[in-house]
Amino acid sequence: MPQLTVALDMMGGDYGPSITVPAAAQALLLLPELNLLLFGLEDELAPWLSRFQLDCHPRVQVQFCSQQVGNDHKAAYALRHLTDSSMRNALDALASGRASACVSSGNTGALMAMAIKTLSTLPGVDRPALITRLPQVGGGYALLLDVGANISCSAHHLVQFALMGEQAAQHTLDIAQPRIALLNVGAEASKGNEAVREAGLRLAELSGLHYSGYIEGNELFSGRADVIVCDGFVGNVALKTSEGVAKLLLGQRIKSGFLSKILTFWLKKRLSHLNPDQYNGASLIGLRASVVKSHGSAGSPAFLNAILQAISEIEHDLPASIAHRFDTAPQDSHAR
Amino acid sequence: MPQLTVALDMMGGDYGPSITVPAAAQALLLLPELNLLLFGLEDELAPWLSRFQLDCHPRVQVQFCSQQVGNDHKAAYALRHLTDSSMRNALDALASGRASACVSSGNTGALMAMAIKTLSTLPGVDRPALITRLPQVGGGYALLLDVGANISCSAHHLVQFALMGEQAAQHTLDIAQPRIALLNVGAEASKGNEAVREAGLRLAELSGLHYSGYIEGNELFSGRADVIVCDGFVGNVALKTSEGVAKLLLGQRIKSGFLSKILTFWLKKRLSHLNPDQYNGASLIGLRASVVKSHGSAGSPAFLNAILQAISEIEHDLPASIAHRFDTAPQDSHAR
């Protein structure tokens, strides 16, 4: 196997190094071929590195930075002024080829803006999209995009997301001919807003793409589609709503007692496939390299999952597949 | 108590009279003061009425119609050509004062268009909104609007929804000073699309309204807000997504065996407050009378719940409260 190096922004998310460092240590234990580049503020990061003996680990390089992107920083501000942030340095490492993928649990808007600036989108791709996996009722996963990188989308953007999602499903879920659906408020052709209806018409015309029409929110987990396309506002709300319901059920208080403890254990086991920790890690796709966005509230196992997802994307070389699809396959020929 | 008469569209939804007739019969049994006006196609409705002995019930009037609104009928078509449909006749009964509320599980777009035409919106209200209850983690309910009547909304519409939702929470949930939130993709002021951001600024300026900022999809059931405002596309997807997750969990297959049966019973009981059947019935508010939209896939108990909700709205005279709020209270003064 060629050298496998992942750049990690250790500062993002709600908990910073207290969860990113244990996850990094675990990833190094699991994967003997893995190298990590770690970026963070010295004051906060160093104590944790020392505690987990990553300060002198042979497969770890640490680069301390002077800045950190906050959740309330606007993307434009972060892009212009936070050029020595851990997020920006991790992306720069990717752009310069020192790493093959990057993971951050920081501010999505800033990550998107910095990733476009440092990595550029692939030829033909207008906007990267944030894509995530959804567990399905019969087992397996579907992909949902966009889940928050693009708040307003035209029909043209939705069509591009469909093409990128198709490649992601083929190469990361191993589905030869993924069924592509548009998330809408009804199944009938007249339903939805103009962008969704127009995207539906264009997708139906695209040869070589398996477009299966509209699906509604209650079908996100039904196994009816392999790739579900929507704008980033709707996708973000849908994803977070499903997480909210799952957490509500997992977190319900139960009376004490032996039987209740057994029941709670059993319930948590049954619901575990809906727990965001199990499928943490949305990828920003359509860029020249793999960038994985971990959930801001991710715990250590969830951040580890995001690292493993980044490694899987390196192995599948998803950017190359998307570039090939946009370069050679029949595409949306309409004006934007 | 004054005369209580509800008009029922017996044809809408996925199952028609096979679920609406048993629900009507049950409502009449529960409420001795209730009168019903029933509208439907004779061929389909009459056998069910006879089976449940509603064809000669002293508190039932039946009016057979020649048309039915289908799920795939466009609103404009229904409005122009389906003037003898069960939906239209039920709304006409409301408009003429023969009934005080109307329930239909038919096509939302057609119901919205016909309701505006027959009933008109209240003075100052531009668009009616579809509002529904969401169960909350600590018990009780929050209200979510719009859940599908208005696919694209301006800031002005969102502000009006907030005012209508405030009245609904005060008068149907008995919350003196409801906390109003906007559904968004993040908590920070810079998040979201322009309509949501502008609505946030306007709501913060409205005196006498308890605006509590943005909430995200994972907080819909958290008890953080009493009224959650969004456009109809986002609200519809959020509502259906939560139903999808709840149904996924309720419907999961479990190995046979005695212990499993006990566990399944226990799980269903725990999840029952998230089952759409328990809180079926979205209301179209902002009109001169109460129109309740039952879920298209509602079963008989769920349709009964929608009838009970209509009765509750008659008792609280929600249209009068909304009219009063729009007439006298400080409102959004910006241009549309």
ipTM of predicted complex: 0.86
Q: Return the residue in B14, B152, B154, B185 with the most chain A beta carbons within 10 A, the one to mutate for interface testing.
A: B185
pLDDT above 70: residue B249: no
Residue A69 to residue A77: CA distance in whole angstroms: 10
Return the HEC string of A71-127.
CCCCHHHHHHHCCCEHHHHHHHHHHCCCCCEEEECCCHHHHHHHHHHHHCECCCCCC
Between A300-316 and A17-30, two packed helices, what is the crossing angle to 10 degrees?
Answer: 50
A205-247 pLDDT tens trace: 998 899 999 999 999 999 999 999 999 999 999 999 988 887 7
Give pLDDT, residue A298: 78
Decide whether A1-119 matches A126-279+318-336 in CATH topology: yes
Give the residue-averaged pLDDT of B107-116.
93
Return the HEC string of B131-184.
EEEEECCCCCEEEEECCCCCCCCCHHHHHHHHHHHHHHHHHHCCCCCCEEEEEC
Cα torsion A22, A24, A25, A26: sign = positive
Which residue of B lies nearest to A148 if distances are taken between CA atoms?
B185
Contact: B241, A233; criterion CB under 8 Å: no
Give pLDDT, residue B336: 41
Q: Does B239 touch chain A (CB under 8 A)?
A: yes
What residues does each domain of chain A span? 1-119, 126-279+318-336
- Alpha-carbon separation of residue A279 from A106, A275, A308, B249 (angstroms): 17, 7, 11, 17
Give the residue-averaged pLDDT of A64-68.
96
Q: Which residue has the higher pLDDT, A270 or B119?
A: B119
Beta-strand pair B101-104/B290-293: parallel
Q: Does A197 touch chain B (CB under 8 A)?
A: no
Measure B280 CA to nearest chain A CA, in Å: 15
Chain B environment of A152 (Cβ under 8 Å): 193
pLDDT above 60: residue A279: no
Give pLDDT, residue B260: 59
pLDDT above 80: residue A271: no
Q: Does B134 touch chain A (CB under 8 A)?
A: no
Contact: A151, B192; criterion CB under 8 Å: yes
Q: Does A98 touch chain B (CB under 8 A)?
A: no
Give pLDDT, residue B1: 42
CB B129 within 8 A of CB B162: no
pLDDT above 90: residue A43: yes
Give pLDDT, residue A191: 86
Chain A environment of B270 (Cβ under 8 Å): 249, 252, 267
Phi, psi of A300 (to 5 degrees): -65, -45
Give pLDDT, residue A139: 81
Percentage, residues of chain A above pLDDT 70: 87
B140-179 pLDDT tens trace: 899 999 999 999 999 999 999 999 999 999 998 999 999 9
Between A155-172 and A300-316, two packed helices, what is the crossing angle to 10 degrees?
Answer: 90
Which residue of A lies nearest to B245 if distances are taken between CA atoms?
A242
How many residues does this entry show for chain A? 336
Residues 286 to 315 of A: which have CB under 8 A from any B CB? none
pLDDT above 70: residue A332: no
Chain B environment of A244 (Cβ under 8 Å): 217-222, 242
In this prediction, residue A72 has a pLDDT band, given cuts at 50, 70 and 90, of confident
Give pLDDT, residue B25: 97
In this prediction, residue B191 has a pLDDT band, given cuts at 50, 70 and 90, of confident
Chain B environment of A190 (Cβ under 8 Å): 72, 74, 109
In this prediction, residue B207 has a pLDDT band, given cuts at 50, 70 and 90, of confident
Contact: A245, B242; criterion CB under 8 Å: yes
Which residue of B lies nearest to A149 if distances are taken between CA atoms?
B185
Report the mean per-residue pLDDT for chain A.
89
Which residue of A lies nearest to B241 if distances are taken between CA atoms?
A217
Residues 218 to 237 of A: which have CB under 8 A from any B CB? 218-222, 230, 232-234, 236-237
CATH code linked to domain A126-279+318-336: 3.40.718.10
Give the residue-averaged pLDDT of B302-330.
89
Measure B73 CA to nearest chain A CA, in Å: 9
Q: Does A140 touch chain B (CB under 8 A)?
A: no
Contact: B188, A246; criterion CB under 8 Å: no
Chain B environment of A231 (Cβ under 8 Å): none
Residue B313 to residue B113: CA distance in whole angstroms: 21
pLDDT above 90: residue A275: no
- Alpha-carbon separation of residue B287 from A57, A309, B129, B175 (angstroms): 68, 51, 9, 22
Contact: B244, A243; criterion CB under 8 Å: no
Chain A environment of B221 (Cβ under 8 Å): 244-245, 248
Give pLDDT, residue A331: 55
Q: Return the residue in B73, B79, B245 with the most chain A beta carbons within 10 A, the one to mutate for interface testing.
A: B245
Measure B2 CA to nearest chain A CA, in Å: 39
Give pLDDT, residue B331: 55
pLDDT above 70: residue A265: no
Q: Does B246 touch chain A (CB under 8 A)?
A: yes
Q: Does B274 touch chain A (CB under 8 A)?
A: yes
Contact: A238, B236; criterion CB under 8 Å: no
Measure A300 CA to nearest chain B CA, in Å: 20
Residues 7 to 66 of A: which have CB under 8 A from any B CB? none
Q: Does B135 touch chain A (CB under 8 A)?
A: no
A91-143 pLDDT tens trace: 999 999 999 999 999 988 899 999 999 999 999 999 999 999 888 887 889 99
In this prediction, residue A310 has a pLDDT band, given cuts at 50, 70 and 90, of very high
Give pLDDT, residue B263: 60
Measure B40 CA to nearest chain A CA, in Å: 24
pLDDT above 50: residue B82: yes
B276-290 pLDDT tens trace: 555 567 999 999 999
Q: Does A274 touch chain B (CB under 8 A)?
A: yes
Measure B4 CA to nearest chain A CA, in Å: 34
Give the residue-averaged pLDDT of A44-49.
97
Give the residue-averaged pLDDT of A192-203.
95
pLDDT above 90: residue B37: yes
Percentage, residues of chain B above pLDDT 90: 71
Overall fold of domain A1-119: Isopropylmalate Dehydrogenase (3.40.718)
pLDDT above 50: residue A1: no
Which residue of A lies nearest to B72 if distances are taken between CA atoms?
A188
Give pLDDT, residue B14: 84
Give pLDDT, residue B328: 77
Report the mean per-residue pLDDT for chain B.
89
CB B131 within 8 A of CB B172: no
Give pLDDT, residue B190: 80
Residue A236 to residue B276: CA distance in whole angstroms: 22
**Max alpha carbon distance in chain A (Å)?**
64
Chain A environment of B192 (Cβ under 8 Å): 151, 233
Give the residue-averaged pLDDT of B191-197.
93
